[in-house]
Chains A and B, each alone.
Chain A
Amino acid sequence: MAMDLKSIPALADVEPVRSTKTPLHLEYEYTAGEASSRFLRAMKDKRITGQRCPVCQKVYVPPRGACPTDGVPTTDEVELGHQGTVTTYCIVNVQFYGSVMQVPYCSALVLVDGSDIPIFGLVQDEGFSVDDVRMGLRVEAVWAPDEDLTTSLENILYWRPTGDPDADYESYKEHV
């Protein structure tokens, strides 16, 4: 016999409290740093820039200013194209708290042409079903209207399939 509210006369006929809210709220001031600040300012001009490691030659986007493998500054800035390849993806079917997205939608990692690190984005287009997303899908950036451009990765609203043939797995297998 477990604890029984009815053993307390004042609680015999009331609705029990069965759950409690324990919200968490954390306030930070995020400092982008030199490399990411340059990247975000370029984003405002509808440019995608990365930085190349002088040792391993890998191009990082967004750049962090140093190569995590070789531990050297990545000073060589590289302007990248606006097309890329879906290396992996997730179709979201659950409406989670705080999300403004309509389900189902597709989150993907897009390897921008000329870079070695995929970046996160949405894959969609008018008349395009998330069922058609696949590894190797070729996509291009869809930018926010010029007046809405800001120093944010959100300038790329989503990635739209180009209609080109899929990328060969060999071409991106190092980046999956």
Chain B
Amino acid sequence: MSDDILRAPLIIEYPFARTLGPAQTAFFTGLREGIILGAKGAAGQVIVPPVEYDPLTGEALEELVEVGQAGEVTTWAWVAEPGDKHVLDHPFAFALIKLDGADQPLLHVVDAGDESAMSTGMRVQVRWKDEREGHINDIEAFVPEEVSA
């Protein structure tokens, strides 16, 4: 009976594109140029990626701030078996990374090689893509910070 049942691949694709608005335009333009921007919040806190309005007061935010390209892992989850949609094809960590000068962490991936190399509080730094287009993946990954003597 089941031999009579037809099956076929069904692939659905939507080519969505969206406009970015002033805060994300700044953030993605910065990434393309190799810098990371945040917004200065109403209480002086630095929010990365930048947002247009203060999350607590709703005030329109105007000031852009460049933050560091290294920071601290505040929490992480190891991905032992990456899926085909993940940006890395080998095991990596999703992590929240509080960049130097920022008060809130950014979600990205850490290419640490092995889970044993990961720890909360560890220092990581940006690994940029060679060809950048203004996209979150312009940051290829964060990697454990090289400690200079």
Do A and B share a complex? yes
**A1 at interface by CB-CB < 8 Å:** yes
Q: What is the count of residue pairs linking A and B with beta-carbon distances less than 8 angstroms? A: 124
**Interface membership of chain A positions 5-38, coded 1 if the CB is closer than 8 angstroms to chain B and 0 otherwise:** 1011011001011111111111111111110111
B22 and A17 contact, CB distance less than 8 A: no
Chain B interface size range: 35 or more
B20 and A31 contact, CB distance less than 8 A: no
B14 and A20 contact, CB distance less than 8 A: no
Cβ–Cβ < 8 Å partners of A7 in chain B: 63-64
Cβ–Cβ < 8 Å partners of B29 in chain A: 5, 11, 14, 16-17
Closest chain B residue to A38 by CB distance?
B4
Closest chain A residue to B138 by CB distance?
A17
Cβ contact of A8, chosen from B5, B8, B24, B30, cutoff 8 A: B30
* A1 vs B22: C-alpha distance when bound (angstroms): 11
B62 and A25 contact, CB distance less than 8 A: no
B64 and A17 contact, CB distance less than 8 A: no
CB contact under 8 A between A28 and B4, given known A5-B25, A18-B20, A21-B17: no
A3 CB to nearest chain B CB (Å): 4
Cβ contact of B4, chosen from A1, A17, A23, A34, cutoff 8 A: A34
Cβ contact of A37, chosen from B6, B11, B22, cutoff 8 A: B6
* A28 vs B5: C-alpha distance when bound (angstroms): 16
A16 and B25 contact, CB distance less than 8 A: yes
A30 and B9 contact, CB distance less than 8 A: yes
Instruction: Name the interface residues of B1-24: CB closer than 8 Å to any CB of A.
Output: 1, 4-20, 22-24
**Interface membership of chain A positions 27-51, coded 1 if the CB is closer than 8 angstroms to chain B and 0 otherwise:** 1111111101110110000000000
A15 CB to nearest chain B CB (Å): 8
A83 CB to nearest chain B CB (Å): 26
Closest chain B residue to A17 by CB distance?
B134
A173 CB to nearest chain B CB (Å): 34
B62 and A1 contact, CB distance less than 8 A: yes
- Report which B residues bind A (CB closer than 8 A): 1, 4-20, 22-26, 28-30, 32-35, 37, 39, 50, 52, 60-64, 66, 133-135
Pairs across A and B, CB under 8 Å, 22 listed: A4-B62, A5-B64, A7-B64, A14-B32, A16-B25, A16-B26, A17-B29, A17-B133, A18-B20, A18-B25, A19-B17, A21-B15, A22-B16, A23-B15, A28-B9, A29-B10, A31-B5, A32-B7, A33-B5, A37-B4, A41-B4, A98-B15
| 3 pairs of A and B residues whose beta carbons are closest in the complex | A17-B134, A30-B10, A28-B10
- Report which A residues bind B (CB closer than 8 A): 1-5, 7-8, 10-11, 14, 16-34, 36-38, 40-41, 97-98, 151
